[in-house]
């Protein structure tokens, strides 16, 4: 049987830079789009050679098929639909795809047309992820989003009309100026739009985002962290009572609609990323590409590698990663499988940490699986740090 691989493709172009954003994205000259996609193609051409390294590193002989592709950004929906379509077609023609691959494309409300959606569908895109973030125009404006609430609603309707039956909506809790009423409105709007998947993020302030700088933070009127934690808790209860399944700290879905691509990140599965700022996890290594798209194009055009950092995953780090990434999932970690994979019983290796965390009501062991409790999901970073030695 073939092994399964996920591909990530990064498209950095945006209409505006949101104040909280720390991704490799921004407003770039339209003249960069064509060279960027040429560079992407060039980087993707390295995939067959990369696949060989799996066997060469003594991981056993394996055939690989691609079962998930995630085109993210940035705002992939900003560029011509043909660019996206041609990249996906090239992948299809060059590599083996598993039957029924999951192919996701990130869309920002207000940036798609019927023609673009046709292009995506014809290219095999079967899941659309929409960066809605919140349903109040004043808040969208405040954080520099380039779309309106009306755009969000009409974009969902367009996707539905074009036959997309697997939609994700991203929401952010804790945006500057957001109130409890705003947050409740977000949940009721989501209930009406009925996407198959919901990602509910708590705002994080990164120092390299505008909000992370003194002038960005001044007057931002961030809601109180405890209040935002209450919104999250209430949302989890409300979503569960409405028939949603929480399967990861920030992710909810209707039955069977988990993001197959994102599950790879939490379950120790390999993925390879292309484009500026893209990350990869492959054959015992993690690496990340040059973040600046202009420099990324220069590197590829001059035949240099796009990666600017690389690190080998030692057995110890591998175990730590498996624990703290696996704990993000509601299903938690199978202790027996962990033991089989690493020859380590987590209850012995982390005995002291586990008993302290259990006493604090943050973790539990149920039917041989180590899991975060609902309280633990709120304090997940404090839990994860216990497993990093």
11 binds ligand SF4 (CB under 6 A): no
Pick the piece of the chain touching ligand SF4 (CB under 6 A) from 16-24, 116-124, 336-344, 364-372: 16-24
d(CA 331, CA 327): 8
230 Cβ contact list (under 8 Å, min separation 6): none
Q: How far is the CB of 74 from ligand SF4 (least distance, A)?
A: 5
76 binds ligand SF4 (CB under 6 A): no
**Toward ligand SF4, which CB reaches closer, 14 or 39?**
14
14 binds ligand SF4 (CB under 6 A): yes
How many Å is the maximal CA-CA distance in the chain? 58
- Compute CA distances 31 → 28, 34, 79, 107, whole Å: 8, 7, 11, 21
238 binds ligand SF4 (CB under 6 A): no
Q: How far is the CB of 276 from ligand SF4 (least distance, A)?
A: 12
DSSP state, residue 224: P
The torsion region of residue 358 among left (phi > 0), alpha (psi -120 to 50) and beta comes to alpha
d(CA 49, CA 347): 40
Q: How many other C-beta atoms are found inside a 10 Å radius of the C-beta of residue 65?
A: 15
**Toward ligand SF4, which CB reaches closer, 29 or 61?**
29
What are the structure tokens assigned to 385, written together? 């740090």
By CB under 6 A, the count of residues binding ligand SF4 is 11
Could you say which of 74, 76, 174, 288 contacts ligand SF4 (CB under 6 A)? 74
Q: How many other C-beta atoms are found inside a 10 Å radius of the C-beta of residue 146?
A: 19
Q: How far is the CB of 141 from ligand SF4 (least distance, A)?
A: 13
Q: How far is the CB of 313 from ligand SF4 (least distance, A)?
A: 28
Pick the piece of the chain touching ligand SF4 (CB under 6 A) from 69-77, 233-241, 284-292, 306-314: 69-77
Q: Strand 3-11 and strand 64-73: pairing? A: parallel
Residues 333-362 that bind ligand SF4 (CB under 6 A): none
In this structure, is the dihedral angle defined by the CA atoms of residues 292, 296, 299 and 305, taken in order, positive or negative?
A: positive
**Contact by Cβ (8 Å): 286, 311:** yes
Could you say which of 104, 108, 155, 250 contacts ligand SF4 (CB under 6 A)? 108
152 binds ligand SF4 (CB under 6 A): no
25 binds ligand SF4 (CB under 6 A): yes
23 binds ligand SF4 (CB under 6 A): yes
Q: How far is the CB of 75 from ligand SF4 (least distance, A)?
A: 5
What are the structure tokens assigned to 202, written together? 């708590």
Q: Strand 97-107 and strand 127-133: pairing? A: parallel
195 binds ligand SF4 (CB under 6 A): no
**Toward ligand SF4, which CB reaches closer, 70 or 387?**
70
Q: Which residues bind ligand SF4 (CB under 6 A)?
A: 14, 17-18, 21, 23, 25, 73-75, 108, 131
């Amino acid at each position: 049987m073939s092994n399964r691989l996920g591909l990530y493709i990064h498209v950095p172009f945006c209409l505006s830079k949101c104040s909280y954003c720390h991704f490799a994205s921004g407003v770039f000259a339209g003249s960069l789009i064509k060279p960027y996609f040429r560079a992407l193609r060039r980087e993707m051409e390295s995939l067959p050679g990369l696949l060989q390294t799996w066997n060469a590193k003594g991981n056993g002989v394996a055939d690989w098929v691609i079962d998930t592709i995630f085109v993210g950004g940035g705002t992939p929906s900003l560029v011509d639909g043909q660019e996206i379509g041609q990249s996906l077609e090239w992948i299809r023609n060059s590599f083996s795809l598993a039957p029924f691959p999951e192919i996701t494309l990130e869309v920002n409300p207000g940036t798609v047309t019927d023609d673009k959606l046709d292009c995506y569908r014809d290219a095999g895109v079967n899941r659309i992820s929409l960066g809605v973030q919140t349903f109040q125009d004043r808040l969208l404006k405040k954080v520099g989003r380039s779309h309106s609430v009306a755009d969000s609603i009409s974009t969902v309707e367009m996707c539905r009309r074009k036959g997309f039956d697997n939609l994700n909506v991203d929401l952010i809790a804790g945006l500057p100026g957001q109130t409890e009423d705003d947050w409740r409105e977000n949940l009721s709007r989501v209930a009406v739009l009925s996407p198959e998947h919901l990602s509910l993020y708590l705002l994080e302030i990164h120092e390299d985002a505008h909000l992370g700088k003194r002038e960005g933070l001044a007057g931002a009127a961030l809601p109180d962290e405890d209040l935002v934690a209450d919104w999250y808790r209430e949302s989890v209860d409300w979503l569960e009572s409405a028939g949603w399944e929480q399967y990861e700290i920030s992710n909810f879905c209707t039955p069977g609609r988990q993001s197959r691509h994102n599950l790879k990140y939490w379950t120790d599965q390999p993925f390879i990323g292309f484009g500026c700022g893209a990350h990869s996890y492959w054959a015992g290594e993690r690496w990340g590409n040059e973040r600046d798209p202009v420099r990324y194009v220069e590197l590829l055009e001059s035949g240099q590698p796009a990666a600017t950092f690389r690190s080998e995953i030692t057995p110890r780090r591998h175990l730590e990663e498996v624990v703290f990434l696996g704990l993000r999932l509601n299903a938690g970690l199978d202790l027996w499988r962990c033991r089989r994979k690493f020859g380590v019983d987590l209850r012995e290796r982390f005995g002291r940490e586990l008993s302290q965390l259990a006493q604090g009501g943050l973790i539990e062991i149920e039917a041989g699986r180590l899991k975060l409790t609902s309280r633990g999901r709120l304090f997940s970073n404090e839990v994860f740090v216990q497993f990093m030695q």
